[in-house]
A and B are shown apart, each in its own frame.
Chain A
Amino acid sequence: MSGPMRLLALITLLAAALLGPLVTPLSAATAGSGLTFTLEAGFEGRAKSGQWIPVTATVVNEGQEWSGRLQFTTVTEIGPNRHGSNYRFPLVVPAGATKQISFYMPAEIANMPAVQLVADDEVVAEAVPQVQMTWEALVGVLGVEPADLPTLAGLQLGQRTVRLIRLTGERLPDEPLALQSLDAILLDRLAWAELPAPRQQALQTWVEHGGTLILGGGPEIHRLEPLYPWLGISAPALAERAVTGVGTASLITVSEKAWLVTRREGDSPLVYSQPRGAGEIHLLAFDPALEPFASWQGLPGLMAQVLHRSAELTATPISGPPATKIGINVGDLIRQMPIKEVPSTRRLLIILGVYALVMGPVHLLLLRGLRRLGWALLTLPLLSLAGAGTTYAYMKANAAADVSAISLGVIEGQPGGHSLAVRSLTGFYLPPGSSHTAEIGGALLSSVPALPLPTPGIPYKPATGRSVIDQGRSVRLEPLNEWLMRSVVAEGTQPVAGTVDGAILVDGQYITGRVTNRLPFTLKGAAIMAGPNFQELGDLAPGASVDVSVVLPAFSGGMGWGANRVGEVLGRMADPGMIGPDGLTAEQQQRVRRQQLAWALTGALPWADALEQPKVLIAGWLETAGLPVLIDGQEVEPTAESLYVQRMTYGYSDGAFQLSADLVPGRLIDSTVGTNQPVQWGWGMAKNMSATLEHVVPIEIIDRVTGMEWRIPILEKGPASEEDPFQVSAFRWRDQSWVKQPFAPEGFKLSPADGFLSPDGRVRIRLDKLNDATLVLGAPGLSVSGEEAAP
Chain B
Amino acid sequence: MQALRMILRNPVLLREARVRMRGWRAPALITAYTGLLSAIAALIFYVAVRNDGPGVFAPEVASIIFIVLAVVQLGLLVLAAPGLTAGAISGERERQTLDLLLVTHMSPIQVVIGKLGAAVGFALLLMFASLPVYGLLFLFGGFSMYRLFLTAVIYLVTVLLLGSLGLYFSAVFKRTQAAVVASYGLAIGAMIASPVLAVLVYQVFNRGPNWQAPEWGVIFAYINPLFGLAAAAGRPMNELIDLFNPILDTPALREAVWWKFCLTALALMALLIWRTTIRITPLKKNSSI
Contact = CB atoms under 8 A, between A and B. Distances in A.
A361 B59 contact: no
A586 B140 CA distance: 20
A147 interface: no
Given A352-B133, A373-B21, A483-B142, A336 B27 contact: no
A395 interface: yes
B128 A404 contact: no
A511 B115 CA distance: 89
Nearest to A484: B60
A113 interface: no
Interface centre among B41, B129, B234 (most CB of A within 10 A): B129
Interface residues of A, number: 68
A395 B139 contact: yes
The majority secondary structure among interface residues of chain A is helix
Contacts of B35: 352-353, 356
Contact of A402 (B53, B64, B135, B141): B141
Interface centre among A336, A359, A363, A433 (most CB of B within 10 A): A359
A718 interface: no
Given A584-B51, A589-B53, A402 B132 contact: no
A584 B17 CA distance: 51
Contact of A380 (B56, B63, B125): B125
Given A363-B27, A398-B139, A434-B142, A374 B18 contact: yes
A391 B135 contact: yes
Interface stretch (B42-50, B85-93, B153-161): B42-50
B53 A399 contact: no
Interface string B206-245: 0000000000000000000000000000110001000000
B53 A584 contact: yes
B56 A585 contact: no
Contacts of B132: 352, 355, 384, 387-388, 390-392
Nearest to B144: A431
Nearest to A402: B141
B137 to A, nearest CB: 8
A590 to B, nearest CB: 8
Given A353-B35, A380-B30, A392 B135 contact: yes
Contacts of A374: 18, 21
B18 A345 contact: no
A483 B141 contact: no
A364 B27 contact: yes
Given A359-B34, A395-B138, A431 B143 contact: yes
Interface in A303-353: 335-339, 342-343, 345, 348-349, 352-353
A248 B162 CA distance: 107
B138 A582 contact: no
A597 to B, nearest CB: 10
Interface residues of B, number: 53
Interface string A582-597: 1111100100110010
A602 B85 CA distance: 67
B18 A352 contact: no
B54 A352 contact: no
B128 A384 contact: yes
Interface centre among A345, A385, A583 (most CB of B within 10 A): A345
B38 interface: yes
Given A388-B135, A398-B139, A589-B54, A349 B42 contact: yes
A349 B38 contact: yes
Contact of B60 (A388, A402, A482): A482
Contacts of B287: none
Contacts of A483: 58-60, 62-63, 142
B131 interface: yes
Nearest to B55: A336
Contacts of A582: 51
Given A348-B42, A583-B50, A589-B51, A364 B139 contact: no
A395 B131 contact: no
Interface in B104-160: 125, 128-129, 131-143
A355 B45 CA distance: 18
B61 interface: yes
A357 B42 CA distance: 16
Interface in A19-55: none
A360 B27 contact: yes
A458 B54 contact: no
Interface centre among B54, B63, B134 (most CB of A within 10 A): B54
B97 interface: no
B54 A359 contact: no
Contact of B54 (A336, A343, A429, A430): A336
Nearest to A576: B54
A503 interface: no
A348 B46 CA distance: 10
A386 B160 CA distance: 25
B31 A357 contact: yes
A387 B128 CA distance: 10
Nearest to B21: A376
Contact of B64 (A390, A396, A459): A459
B95 interface: no
B285 interface: no
A352 to B, nearest CB: 4
A349 B31 CA distance: 14
Given A360-B27, A360-B31, A352 B57 contact: no
A381 to B, nearest CB: 6
B54 A584 contact: yes
A359 B30 contact: yes
B30 to A, nearest CB: 5
A356 B56 contact: no
A634 to B, nearest CB: 16
A430 B142 CA distance: 7
Contacts of A485: 58
A458 B60 contact: yes
Given A431-B142, A433-B235, A361 B31 contact: yes
Contact of B30 (A360, A373, A392, A460): A360
B70 to A, nearest CB: 15
B62 to A, nearest CB: 7
B38 A353 contact: yes
B42 A359 contact: no
Given A399-B141, A483-B59, A585 B129 contact: no
B56 A455 contact: yes
Contacts of B38: 349, 352-353, 355-356
Given A338-B57, A381-B125, A401 B141 contact: yes
A386 to B, nearest CB: 9
A576 B52 CA distance: 13
Interface string B5-30: 00000000000011001101001101
B141 A431 contact: yes
Contacts of B50: 583
Contact of A348 (B27, B30, B45, B137): B45
Contacts of A376: 21
Contacts of B55: 336
Interface centre among B46, B58, B63 (most CB of A within 10 A): B58
Contacts of A683: none
B79 to A, nearest CB: 19
The 7 closest A-B pairs by CB, nearest first: A431-B142, A483-B60, A360-B31, A391-B135, A352-B38, A388-B131, A583-B52
Given A373-B21, A396-B138, A483-B142, 19 more contacts: A336-B55, A345-B46, A348-B45, A348-B136, A352-B34, A352-B133, A353-B38, A356-B38, A359-B30, A359-B34, A364-B27, A373-B22, A376-B21, A377-B17, A391-B132, A403-B141, A404-B59, A485-B58, A586-B51
17 contacts: A342-B57, A343-B139, A345-B42, A352-B34, A363-B27, A384-B125, A384-B128, A384-B129, A387-B129, A429-B59, A432-B235, A433-B235, A458-B58, A460-B60, A461-B239, A482-B60, A585-B51
Interface of B: 17-18, 21-22, 24, 27-28, 30-32, 34-35, 38-39, 41-42, 45-46, 49-64, 125, 128-129, 131-143, 234-235, 239
